[in-house]
Structure 1
Amino acid sequence: MKTSEYMDKTETNVLHTYNRVPIVLERGKGVHLYDTDGKEYLDFAAGIAVSVLGYKNQVFIDALKDQMDKLIHTSNLYFNTAMGEAAEKLVSISGMDCAFFTNSGTEAIEGAIKAAKKYAYLRDKNTDHEIIAMNHSFHGRSMGSLSVTGNDYYREPFKPLIAGVHFADFNDLDSVRSAMTDKTCAVILETVQGEGGIYPASEDFLVGVRKLCDEHDILLILDEIQCGMGRTGYMFAWQGYGVKPDIMTLAKGLGGGFPVGAFLLNQKTAKSSLVPGDHGTTYGGSPLACRAVSSVVDILNNENLVNHVRELTPYLEERLDELVDEFDFVDKRRGKGFMQGLVLDGIYVEQVIEAAAKNRLLVISAAGNVLRLVPPLVITKEDIDDMAKKLKVSLTDVMKAQDKDSFT
C-alpha cells in the first residue's frame, strides 16, 4: 500500500482531531523511526515523552511477550501476579505508600481529584471544596482534568466544567497564597509544565507551596505525567527539589509505550480518602500493563538511565544554547534534563517542525511558540550531535524560506 493510501484511510475513517505530520511510521529501532518508504528519522519527540526506552528494546519486548503468553486481563475483581510487583516497585522508587493503576494520564488526574475531594469530605463533611490549579497548565482532556487545565483554548467549548477551581500563576507563591480559602482542599501543578511551554518550577515556589499546604491541611498533587520516570535526571522531578507530594500522577514514560497511568498516594491521604466503591476501572492494573511498568522500572534501574540523563544534560543544553546564539529568532532555551524547549520569535514553531521532518528529525511543539525536545532517555552524545546538525539545517531552511517570501 502506498504512503498516500495509508494517510487517506486515516483521514477518511478516523475523527479529525489532529493535524498530523505527513509521515506514516512503520517501525522503530533504538532512537530512530522508519516510515513506509524506508526513510529513517531521529526521534526527539518519543511519542510525546512516552518512549523512554526508545524502540525495540528486547528486554522490554520479551517481558511483554512472556506476560501475553500467561495472562492479559482479569479485571480488578481478582488479584494478579503483576499488579503487586509493579506497585511495590513504584512505591520503592518514589517513597509514596500505595498506587492505583489507570489507563492514561488524564484518568490518573481524575483519580487524584477524587481522592483529594474525598479526603476533605471525610475531614469536615462538606461538599463545596475548591482546588487551586496553575495558569498555562495542562492536565488532560477529560472533563475533570480539563477543569484544572489553565488554558481557555482547551476549556471554553466544554463549559461548564467542575466548579470551585481557581487558577494561580505558576512560580508565583503570593498568587497561590491569595487563591487559598478555608474551602481549598488541594493544589495541583506540574513540577515542570510541559504543554504550557516547558517551564520548570522554581525551588522557592515548590518548597513554598508545600509549606502552605502543610500549614492548612491542603493536599499537594504533583503531575509528573510528562516530567516523571527519569526525564529530568531524577526518577521524579520533585525529588530534585527536596519536596514530596501527597498525591502524584504518572503516565507517558511509565509504560515505555504501553498505555498505562497511575496515581500514587502517601499514607495520610490513602488511609483517609478512597475506599471500595469510590473509584474503579475495568482495565486499569491489568497484568499486561503492570508487567510493562515493572519492566520499565527495572530497565531504568539496571541501565542506570536516570544518571545517564543527568550526565548528558549539560551537553544537550550546550548544543541547544549554540543554536540560541546562532539564530536571532531562537530567543532562549529552558527546561530540565531531557525535557527542553526553544522559544522562537519571528517564525512559527510549525514551520520548524515541518522543516525538521523533511531533514529526518522529529520534534514537537509546546504553547508559546516553543519547540519541544523530549527524546528517549537512551540517546547518546552522537545522537545529540546529529540532532543539533539536523535542527541547524532546519532552522536555516526556515530562515531562507522566510527571507524569500519577504523578498517576493
Structure 2
Amino acid sequence: MIQQSTPGDWQERYHSALLGVFGSPQLCLDHGYGCIVVDSDGNEYLDLLGGIAVNALGYAHPAWVKAVTHQAETLAHVSNFFTTRPQLDLAEKMLSLAKAPEGSAVFFSNSGTEANEAAIKICLARKNGRIIALDHAFHGRTLGALALTHKAAYRQPFGPSAIDVTFVAPDDHGTLCHELDKGDVSAVFVEPVQGEAGVVPLSREYLRQVRELTVCHDALMVVDEVQCGMGRTGRWFAHQGAHITPDVMTTAKALGGGFPIGATVTFGPHVSGVLTAGQHGTTFGGNALACAVACAVISTIESDDLLAHVRKIGALMSTALQQCHPSITQVRGSGALLGIQFDSDIAGDLVVAARDAGFIVNAANPSTLRLAPPYVLTEAQAQSFVDALPGLIDSVRS
C-alpha cells in the first residue's frame, strides 16, 4: 500500500506556474526504471499507462539512454536546410516497417496531432472536399486535427472549423457508402483502434471496406496509428492485420519511446508528390536527436523480439482479466493496448484505488479502464495487477 503523505509545495508551484489545461496532477514523479515510476515521496508504482502509450521501452532503458547520450554529444539539431544520417536511417526504416511501395515518403514532426495536421493538408491539397471521420474519433487538439475529433466539448469552444467534416458511425458500411456516393469527399480518417474511445478496435472487414470504397470514390484513406502503432498491438501497425495499404498513415507516441517525434507516411507517388517545397514544414521535426532515439527504440523492439512478447502478455492479460471479476463485461484490444469494460461507471474510482495500491491506470471513459503499459512489462508484473484488481473493484463498489 502506498504511504499517504500531505502533498508538498509541488502542487502550489504547479498551479501558480502552469496553464491549467490538465487539471490537478495526481502525483509528482521523480524517476523511473523499467515499468516502475517513483514519486517525490519515494513511493513506487507499476505504470500500466506508459505515459499514455508512449514509453514503449519503459523508463531509463539502457538502449534509449545510450541513444540520447550519444546523439546529444554528436549533433542534436540542424535546420531543415540539411539532413542527417539518423533522419535518413529512420525514414528508410519506417518505410520498410510500413511495407510502403516505391515512391512512398515520410514527413517527421514532433507529435501525433502534428502528424495528423500534415495528413489533413495532403488530403485537402490533393482534393479540396469534405473529410469523413468516425464517431468517437480522437485525432488531436490543434485546430485541424481537432476538427476531426468527435467529442463536441473539445471542439465547440473554438467555433466552426474551416474544414468540412462529416462524422459517421464506426463499422457502418451503409452510411459510409452513402456519404462517399455524394462525390465531394477528400479523405476518410480512421483509427484502427479507437484508443480515447475506450480501446475500441475497428473490424478488419470494415477497414477493408474503407479501403475499397475510398479507391472507388477517388478519396484518400488515412489511418491514424498515433496510439495503436509502432508495435503496441503486437504488430508494427494495427491496420496491417487487415492486409490493406492506406494512402497515408500517421504515428507518434511509442515511436520515440518518450522522446517527442511524430511521422506522416505517404504510400506511393500519387500521394507523396502532393505537397511541394514550401507548402509544409517544421523547425524541430526530424531532428537528429529524435530520429536517433526512434531508431534505437525500433532496433530494441526487433532485437529483443518485443512484438512477440507484447502479443503474449496481451493474450495472457485479456484472458485473466475477463475471468477475474463478474463486473468486467468485456476486455477489448490486443497486445499492450487493452480496454477493461465494467458494468457500471466505476473506472474513475478505480484509477484512484489502483494508484493507492501502487498501480497507474487510466479511465478512458466512466466505465472503461485503459491499459497501455511498456512493452517490457513482465508476466509477473502483469499478474500482480490481475491479482489486485478484484479487491480494488470490490472496494469501490462497496
TM range (shorter): over 0.9
User: SS of 1:170's equivalent?
Assistant: coil
User: SS of 2:22's equivalent?
Assistant: coil
- Which consecutive unaligned segments of at least 5 residues does structure 1 have? 121-126, 401-408
User: SS of 2:92's equivalent?
Assistant: helix
TM superposition shift of 1:311: 2.3
Pairs within 5 Å for 1:55-70: 55-70=59-74
Pairwise CA RMSD: 1.4
CA distance in 1, matches of 2:305, 2:162: 41
User: SS of 2:216's equivalent?
Assistant: helix
Write out per-residue CA displacement over residues 127-146 of structure 1, whole angstroms, 9 at most, x where no aligned residue: 4x111100100000010001
Match of 2:3? none
User: SS of 1:113's equivalent?
Assistant: helix
Pairs within 5 Å for 1:3-402: 3-96=7-100, 97-120=104-127, 127=128, 129-180=129-180, 181-323=182-324, 326-328=325-327, 330-367=328-365, 369-400=367-398
Give the residue type in structure 1 aligned to 2:362: I
Give the residue type in structure 2 aligned to 1:147: A
- Which consecutive unaligned segments of at least 5 residues does structure 2 have? 1-5
Write out per-residue CA displacement over residues 81-119 of structure 1, whole angstroms, 9 at most, x where no aligned residue: 211011111111111221100011000000000011112
Q: Given that residues 143 and 162 in structure 1 are in contact (C-alpha distance below 8 angstroms), is that contact kept between their aligned partners in structure 2?
A: no
Match of 1:404? none
TM superposition shift of 1:331: 2.8
Q: Given that residues 119 and 272 in structure 1 are in contact (C-alpha distance below 8 angstroms), is that contact kept between their aligned partners in structure 2?
A: no
Write out per-residue CA displacement over residues 356-379 of structure 1, whole angstroms, 9 at most, x where no aligned residue: 000000001213531101111111
Q: Given that residues 116 and 219 in structure 1 are in contact (C-alpha distance below 8 angstroms), is that contact kept between their aligned partners in structure 2?
A: yes
User: SS of 1:4's equivalent?
Assistant: coil
User: SS of 2:88's equivalent?
Assistant: helix
Give the residue type in structure 1 aligned to 2:39: D
Give the residue type in structure 2 aligned to 1:22: Q
TM-score in terms of structure 1 length: 0.92
User: SS of 2:37's equivalent?
Assistant: strand
Write out per-residue CA displacement over residues 378-404 of structure 1, whole angstroms, 9 at most, x where no aligned residue: 11211111111232232122122xxxx
Q: Given that residues 343 and 368 in structure 1 are in contact (C-alpha distance below 8 angstroms), is that contact kept between their aligned partners in structure 2?
A: no
- Once the two structures are aligned, what percentage of the paired residues are identical? 36
Q: Structure 1 residues 271, 236: closer, same or farther in 2, change over 3 A?
A: closer
CA distance in 2, matches of 1:42, 1:322: 22
CA distance in 1, matches of 2:233, 2:89: 25
User: SS of 1:347's equivalent?
Assistant: coil
How many residues are matched? Answer: 389
